Amino acid sequence: MLIVELRTDLVPEVEFDRVRTELFVEEPSGTGTTARISEVEVLEGDYSAGIRVAEFDRVEDGAYVVRVQLTDAGDLVTSRTIRLDVSDTLAIPVVITRSCGGVVCPGPGDSPDAVSCVGGRCQEAGCVRGDEPECGTAECTSASDCPAPSASCASAVCVEGLCVDMLDDGACEAGQRCHPERSCVDPSADLTNFSLRLGLGGVEGHALLGSPDELSLDVFTIEMWVKRTGPGDPTDSGNVGDALNPAIPLFTKGKGDRDGEEAADINYFVGLANDVGYVLAADFEEGAGGDLSANHPVWATTSTIANEWHHVAVTYDGSVMRLYLDGVMDGRADVGPAPPASASQVEAAIGAAARLDGGVDGNFEGLLDELRVWGRARTEAEINETMNVAIVTDPDLRCRFGFDEGTGETITDSHAGIVGRLVSPGLGFGFDEDVPFP
């Protein structure tokens, strides 16, 4: 008898709904012929600890190939293939980690024999228990080698050289499943909409976008959804009384640094004034053709509420800067005509404020989503019309980040293709069922 046990940190009912196990009798050519198939719907139990998914009786001694596929609504999610010799009754554990989701083996540059995804990499099917030569370097030797999942209902363990997240559904409400990145979720929830989670556990984290031409702005609209979950770490856009000081950075291109040098000046600074109720606030410094490095701060009047989503927007049309909270104008300043420091060479930053020397200051603690930068000042009516809509591209857009990658170390703008770098450790992707947009 051959018994197949599946261990995976992919979430049953949420990320896969069926398990298909195929048993091949290995032919001399090595290609194999299908002998038996077992396909079952997801069962009750803890898949991260191991669930028996197939039993094949009257299996003669010999060489076999076993392939386990996870599917969702008929679509392949991921699979693993192993080659083994059977003698007498044998129980084999098949570990499939979430890092293999979407990985197709063999990949470009891989050996044709690398047909099995193991720990996110394509390996030969001879990699069964993790210590065979075909497995390559182990991903871990203990749990301390594995990154901790962001959800409190999950914990990392090392299983046969692979990092696996243990999922405790018991920490969730009845009927919910533990997801290592999105906490407790309902099986029917739409889990395709991620947000950027900054300041995990109070530890600083941010994203840097470089200084591309698309983000050098003379007039603009900057808008995003934010959910403040902690106090954050303030920085400033200049001296007290003449600028935002202090302020929690949301999206910036510059901070108070090296006045009189346009390359180091602020093209725009959007943040929350933590000393006056975390109201929306914005600033820029003047560039060439104006009063070089002069600040133009403006504050809104309505406090943002912790642990609630707010839509924030800042517009500048060359003369007037306007602030909008949840689609309603909440502050303005007549500052022009005044040219922003669009020749600034400081990196644009999400959740922090960068300096020309490459350092960063400040940190936002919370969730941020649907960041859009426009090359013109949008009207209040336009902001209201689209604030709950995901706009992937538009002729007036300069960039748009939806943060739906869900994993990895980069984010990509869906309009212009700008790639941002995620700077850990206090940063990751989060999921929030209360997010008020698609």
pLDDT at position 276 is 96
Q: What separation in angstroms does the CA of 411 have from each of 182, 223, 404, 419? A: 18, 17, 8, 6
Q: What separation in angstroms does the CA of 314 have from each of 113, 162, 287? A: 54, 46, 19
* Mean pLDDT score, 308-335: 97
Half-sphere exposure of residue 382: CA atoms within 13 angstroms, side-chain side = 13
pLDDT at residue 145 is higher than 60: yes
pLDDT at residue 325 is higher than 60: yes
Q: Is 437 exposed, middle or buried (0-12, 13-18, 19+ CB in 10 A)?
A: middle
pLDDT at position 190 is 63
* Mean pLDDT score, 95-118: 83
pLDDT at position 425 is 62
pTM for this prediction? 0.64
* Mean pLDDT score, 362-380: 96
What is the residue-wise DSSP string for 396-434?
Answer: TEEEEE--TT-SSSEEE-TTT--EEEEE-SSEEEE--TT
Task: Please state, in angstroms and rounded to a whole number, the distance separating the CA atoms of residues 205 and 363.
Answer: 7
* Mean pLDDT score, 44-69: 90
pLDDT at residue 241 is higher than 80: no
Listed range (86-95, 101-110, 240-249) with the worst mean pLDDT: 101-110
Provide, rounded to the nearest whole percent, the portion of the chain with pLDDT above 90: 58
pLDDT at position 350 is 97
Report for 54-58, 102-106, 371-375: range of highest mean pLDDT: 371-375
pLDDT at position 426 is 62
If you average pLDDT over every residue of the chain, what do you get? 89
Characterize the bridge pairing of strands 177-179 and 183-185.
antiparallel
Task: Please state, in angstroms and rounded to a whole number, the distance separating the CA atoms of residues 284 and 319.
Answer: 12
pLDDT at position 181 is 75
Q: Name residues whose C-beta falls within 8 Å of residue 254's C-beta, 6 or more positions apart in sequence.
A: 237, 264, 265, 266, 267, 268, 269, 285, 341, 344, 346, 353, 354
User: What's the pLDDT band for 131 if we cut at 50, 70, 90?
Assistant: low
Higher pLDDT, 367 or 133: 367
pLDDT at position 437 is 65
Higher pLDDT, 60 or 188: 60
Provide the edge-to-edge strand list for the sheet that holds 2-8.
51-56, 2-8, 90-96
Report for 107-116, 117-126, 132-141, 315-324: range of highest mean pLDDT: 315-324
The closest alpha carbon to 179, from 13, 424, 20, belongs to 13
Report for 75-89, 121-135, 233-247, 337-351: range of highest mean pLDDT: 337-351
pLDDT at position 88 is 75
Query: Residue type for 8, please?
Result: T
pLDDT at residue 28 is higher than 50: no
Q: Is 31 exposed, middle or buried (0-12, 13-18, 19+ CB in 10 A)?
A: exposed
Task: Please state, in angstroms and rounded to a whole number, the distance separating the CA atoms of residues 436 and 438.
Answer: 7
Provide, rounded to the nearest whole percent, the portion of the chain with pLDDT above 70: 92
pLDDT at position 34 is 62
Task: Please state, in angstroms and rounded to a whole number, the distance separating the CA atoms of residues 380 and 438.
Answer: 21
Domains assigned to the chain = 2-135 (2.60.40), 197-430 (2.60.120.200)
pLDDT at position 30 is 46
pLDDT at position 393 is 92
Q: What is the pLDDT of residues 199-216, one digit of tens each?
A: 766 678 899 999 999 999
Query: Residue type for 241, please?
Result: G
| Other Cβ atoms within 10 Å of 26 Cβ, number | 18
321 and 289 Cβ atoms separated by less than 8 Å:
no
Within the chain, what is the greatest distance between any pair of CA atoms? 86
Task: Please state, in angstroms and rounded to a whole number, the distance separating the CA atoms of residues 231 and 252.
Answer: 18
User: What's the pLDDT band for 29 if we cut at 50, 70, 90?
Assistant: very low
